[in-house]
Structure 1
Amino acid sequence: MERRTPDSSQMIAQQSLIRGLENPAVYEHGVTELRVIETHASWVILTGAWVYKIKKAVNFGFLDYSTLEKRRSSCQEELRLNRRFAPHVYIDVIAIAGTFEQPSLQASGEPIEYAVRMKQFPQSGLLSTLAAQHTLTEEHVDALAALVPVMHAAVSIADKHTEYGLPDDIHHWVLENFDHIRPALRKPQQCQQLDTLERWCRQEFGNRRMLIEQRRCDGFVRECHGDLHLGNLAIIEGEITPFDGLEFNPQLRWIDVISEVAFLIMDIHDRGYPRLSCRLLNTWLQHTGDYSGLALLRYYLVYRALVRAKVAILRQAQARSTLDEQDAWYEYASYMELASRYVEPPLPVLIITHGVSGSGKSFYASRLAERLGAIQVRSDLERKRLHGYPAGADTQSGIRTGLYSAAASERTYEQLALLARTVIKAGYPVIIDATFLQAARREQFRLLSETLAVPFVLLHFEADRDTLYARIQSRQAAGEDPSEAGIKVLEAQLVAQESLMPDEMADVISVEFSTDVSTDMIGQIVDQIIDKQRAMSHTGAGDVVDS
């Protein structure tokens, strides 16, 4: 791989230019602040109302800004790509004239450099800032999980005859990270860790190559953002807005959508929010139904952690102080540790819920999924998806009619079994969130767990009638839940449900609904599930997301 060091004369000239642009008199508009943010590939100049982004004359192999023409072209491409997601932020590309020491943004002479001009937004709105301030919330993550499918639905899809998304090309960029990182390492332990990850990546690619190609043919490779992490997402005018998409290498943005989502999951996890990273994954899956992509997720999680580790290495090489260098090494170690954790999957388990509508199944299942690193599959959503309805649709189905007829219910449970198998084979614990009021349904999934050779857990939910009625009425009034079960459905369920049999009780964990759900309560359920995993696997404790 060709990788050249920056042209020292160009870099010196650019550094003079940046100093020149720190003079407020250069700008024809008012300047209320003047601050320069430097990254490994660019300088970003904040002036209060406007932002100017200038690309460094560097060539890292995967990124080449080494000539003025390449920087101009990249600026134009950055404008085009980011206007897809933030048209009100990205304004134009301007030519900078004059001299490096005394630049002009208005002169019409020979350009000495180019800049992307953007409207400035408050840095306090960056999701990375919210994460650092411990104010990133479930609401932010849910909004992100809803936004990403909308983004991906609006962008171009790679034709299967194009060069984008080919398995060997994807794997090339995974391995390219090792080529960048290895020469900078100083300690034997670092080299051993890197070698272990490289062996895993090569083996995992071999196992998943056919699926990568199949998803390319099925339209999952799209012209994505390419660099979607919390530092490139901001709340602007009340809406989460992506910016700073990847423009410098089309192969790195024409990617499988699951690769883009993996970047977000990894970044949220790395910033200290493992439960929210699981919530993002589950909510995105519930929006898209893309459970087949789970088999590639771990590969892409490791890849994305390696990308950020590589960027830390590049920052370390450009560090201007010992403190900056130490920070870069700390960041590198953090990403490498996370990548190493991703290659060790959690112990598998097949969990089903049992209980009438309003007993708290979905509420608890989502919290447990976040703690276990499990995938929650909701029957209400999958039932509608099978029949072509959006999650919030009112299908006007009655008791045992429409979507709830015997045939539709049979088809729904078959789909749930298929998804359970898909999730387990991808290496994740799964929670099938359905009523399972019939003993035959429960037995179907117990037998499935035997076929898959994974532990089986039956979470039994119960609540008194007053609580059930109140929760159903509250849910219907809110109008935000995919379940269509009303009071009449609840009453029918209470009559028709088949009680747990004595031979089922060994698999049962009972949960009594409470409006005051504590962390300890969820933790106790998690501990019981882990005990069942241990009993079957004999390999030690399960990999709980956090405790």
Structure 2
Amino acid sequence: MSAMIDDLLDPAALPDETGSVTLVQTHISLVFIADAFVYKVKKPVDFGFLDFTSLGKRAHACRQEVLLNRRLALEIYEGVVPVVFDGFRHRVGAERGEVVDYAVKMRRIPEERLMKAVFRRGELNERHLEDIARVLSNFHRSARRSPEIDTFGRAEAFRVNTDENFAQVEKYCGISIDRPLFEALRQWTDVFYRAQAALFEERIAAGKIRDCHGDLHMEHICLTEGIPIFDCIEFNDRFRYSDTLADVAFLMMDLDYHGGGSFSEIFWDAYRRFAEEGDRHDLLTFYKVYRAFVRGKVISFQLDDPNIRNEAKEKAAQTARAYFELAGGYI
């Protein structure tokens, strides 16, 4: 893996001319950023809820990523290209050599127009939030629905996700989350399922369980023409097959995390109007807790990654702790 990383940081290893290449790592991806395009390679990891350990599985995940993300960002996703090793060096899209991996090729978006960047500059406004709410409500209204997808809206089905979260996070108690907070969140979640089970059935009956985005935070929304929204969950259907409120709760949580609680409320008011939603405070809170906990979990995974330096791991632990504390604040 380290040899491939070193090779692909050479501009000559990429198929499109570029003056520089930089690398951004997540817990599941290597993202090589060139001047005009981005090449995203899956790490050969297995977290239980995703498995990229074989070349075939990574190829499938790349194809799914392109297919699913074209729903909301058609112009960004170019396709899937091979990573080839010729016996000496790794190259993207080379015609000769052994295919050792695959990359999703994307057009590079203007980073200064990402919702998070606009928010940080103090330029996010009500019109932006209304435009995002309109795009999402239209997407959710037309997103795929089926009897199979409906089953993922049941309380016992969604509990698979939360039970998995607690099981995977427990080892980080004392590192990125305090044990009392961990237990409080687990108990609160258990009580919610028992007390509010009817809410889940009501949402199924209302047709609100859809093939959603699944990873809807500010870094995945670009405030350019058409509001492209990218980087949805491709590796596990059960993280996309969900209540539409679980999608919007992610964005609301992200705004809350960054100190934009008032923007979160403005967005919700607009989305509720466009989507003809009623007052769903209890369920929104549940999904915001879930989303904050998931962010804390996936950032904590970086603590186990041998390719990430210690300084970055320390920062990851602090960030994960802040997300877990936000989840605690909601309850």
In 2, the alpha carbon distance for the partners of 1:103 and 1:71 equals 17
* Aligned amino acid, residue 341 of structure 1: G
* Aligned amino acid, residue 68 of structure 1: L
Match for residue 26 of structure 1?
13
In 2, the alpha carbon distance for the partners of 1:100 and 1:307 equals 40
Match for residue 306 of structure 1?
293
Classify the secondary structure of the residue corresponding to 2:199. helix
Alignment partner for residue 191 of structure 1, among 171, 179, 198? 179
Within 5 Å, which residues of 2 pair with 1:210-249?
Answer: 210-236=198-224, 238-249=225-236
Match for residue 44 of structure 1?
31
Contact 1:17–1:100 (CA under 8 A) maintained in structure 2: no
Match for residue 108 of structure 2?
120
The number of equivalent residue pairs is 329
In 2, the alpha carbon distance for the partners of 1:63 and 1:22 equals 26
Match for residue 141 of structure 2?
153
Displacement of 1:277:
0.8
Show structure 1 runs of 5+ residues with no match.
1-13, 344-547
Structure with the greater alpha carbon radius of gyration: 1
* Aligned amino acid, residue 259 of structure 1: A
* Aligned amino acid, residue 293 of structure 2: L
Alignment partner for residue 275 of structure 1, among 262, 274, 277? 262
- Is the aligned partner of 1:251 residue 2:238? yes
Displacement of 1:132:
3.0
Classify the secondary structure of the residue corresponding to 2:223. strand
Cα offsets for 1:10-29 (capped at 9, x unmatched): xxxx2211211111122332
Contact 2:38–2:107 (CA under 8 A) maintained in structure 1: yes
Match for residue 170 of structure 2?
182
In 2, the alpha carbon distance for the partners of 1:101 and 1:233 equals 39
- Is the aligned partner of 1:286 residue 2:273? yes
Displacement of 1:159:
2.2
Match for residue 261 of structure 1?
248
Show structure 2 runs of 5+ residues with no match.
none
Q: 1:51 to 1:187 in 2, by over 3 A?
A: closer
Match for residue 133 of structure 1?
121
Q: 1:213 to 1:110 in 2, by over 3 A?
A: farther
Higher relative contact order (CA 8 A, sep 6+): 2
Contact 1:98–1:107 (CA under 8 A) maintained in structure 2: no
Alignment partner for residue 59 of structure 1, among 46, 55, 74? 46
Classify the secondary structure of the residue corresponding to 1:115. strand
In 2, the alpha carbon distance for the partners of 1:188 and 1:331 equals 8
In 2, the alpha carbon distance for the partners of 1:122 and 1:68 equals 31
Q: 1:317 to 1:35 in 2, by over 3 A?
A: same
In 2, the alpha carbon distance for the partners of 1:96 and 1:262 equals 36
* Aligned amino acid, residue 207 of structure 1: A
Alignment partner for residue 172 of structure 1, among 160, 170, 178? 160
* Aligned amino acid, residue 130 of structure 1: V
Contact 2:41–2:103 (CA under 8 A) maintained in structure 1: yes
Q: 1:305 to 1:188 in 2, by over 3 A?
A: closer
* Aligned amino acid, residue 61 of structure 1: G
* Aligned amino acid, residue 178 of structure 1: F
- Is the aligned partner of 1:94 residue 2:97? no
Contact 2:51–2:57 (CA under 8 A) maintained in structure 1: yes
Question: Quick one: percent identity of the two aligned structures?
Answer: 29
Displacement of 1:189:
7.8
Displacement of 1:101:
5.2
Displacement of 1:174:
1.4
Deviates more, 1:191-200 or 1:288-297: 288-297
In 1, the alpha carbon distance for the partners of 2:138 and 2:100 equals 39
Displacement of 1:294:
3.5
Cα RMSD (Å): 2.0
Displacement of 1:130:
2.1
* Aligned amino acid, residue 261 of structure 2: P
* Aligned amino acid, residue 131 of structure 2: A
Classify the secondary structure of the residue corresponding to 2:44. coil
* Aligned amino acid, residue 43 of structure 1: L
Displacement of 1:133:
3.0
Classify the secondary structure of the residue corresponding to 1:291. coil
In 2, the alpha carbon distance for the partners of 1:66 and 1:100 equals 22
In 2, the alpha carbon distance for the partners of 1:17 and 1:187 equals 31
Deviates more, 1:252-261 or 1:278-287: 278-287
* Aligned amino acid, residue 90 of structure 2: P
* Aligned amino acid, residue 84 of structure 1: R
In 1, the alpha carbon distance for the partners of 2:157 and 2:88 equals 42
Alignment partner for residue 328 of structure 1, among 313, 316, 324? 316
Contact 1:99–1:112 (CA under 8 A) maintained in structure 2: no
